[in-house]
């Protein structure tokens, strides 16, 4: 792995970590959801500090150029993240539907109570 690539990865890690921490502080990112991003940062730091790990992994998987190994890993991570996000969106859909229905049921009760008074 070239020095330049290592520097680039370090910058990316710094941006990810700083952004994630700031968003957590501002309550714009839940701690739970930030874990995957922080895990990514840890993996990237490991890759920069111990490039032999990347080379070894690339050999095991059968990828000749270590950079391709890094790119493949990024692509996989993105896929996992997107799948995770669609799962979260689906769950939130379910929750907002249940809440909307409950709200409608309660609104009718309130309306009837107000009419009685």
Partner 1 sequence: MKLLVIIPAYNEEDAILATVQGLQRECPEADCIVINDCSKDGTRDILRANGIPYLDLPLNLGIGGGVQTGYRYAVEHGYDVTVQFDGDGQHRAEYIRDLVKPIVDGEADMVVGSRFVAQDGQGFQSSAMRRVGINFLSRLIQLCTGKHVLDATSGFRACGQALTREFAESYAQDYPEPEAIVTALVKGYRVKEIPVLMNERQGGVSSIRALKSVYYMIKVSLAVLLAGIRLTGRKEAARHE
Residue 86 token pair: 């669609």
Q: Cβ(38)–Cβ(20) under 8 Å?
A: yes
| C-alpha to C-alpha distances, 76 to 3, 55, 64, 71, 85, nearest whole angstrom | 24, 18, 18, 9, 14
Whichever of 11 and 87 has its CB closer to partner 1, that residue is 87
DSSP 50: -
* Residue ranges binding partner 1 (CB under 8 A): 96-97, 100-101, 103-105, 107-108
Of 31 and 110, nearer to partner 1 (C-beta) is 110
- Taking the complex as a whole, how short is the minimal distance between the CB of residue 97 and partner 1, in angstroms? 5
Q: Which is nearer to partner 1, 25 or 109 (CB)?
A: 109
Q: How far is the CB of 100 from partner 1 (least distance, A)?
A: 5
């Amino acid at each position: 792995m070239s020095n330049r690539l290592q520097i680039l990865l370090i910058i990316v890690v710094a941006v990810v970590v700083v952004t994630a921490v700031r968003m957590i502080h501002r309550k714009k990112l839940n701690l739970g959801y930030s874990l995957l991003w922080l895990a990514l940062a840890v993996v990237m730091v490991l890759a920069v500090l111990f490039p032999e790990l990347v080379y070894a992994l690339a050999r095991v998987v059968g990828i000749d150029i270590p950079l391709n190994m890094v790119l493949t890993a990024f692509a996989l991570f993105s896929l996992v993240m997107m799948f995770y996000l669609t799962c979260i969106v689906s769950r939130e859909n379910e929750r907002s539907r249940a809440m909307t229905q409950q709200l409608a049921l309660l609104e009718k009760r309130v309306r009837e109570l107000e009419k009685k008074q």
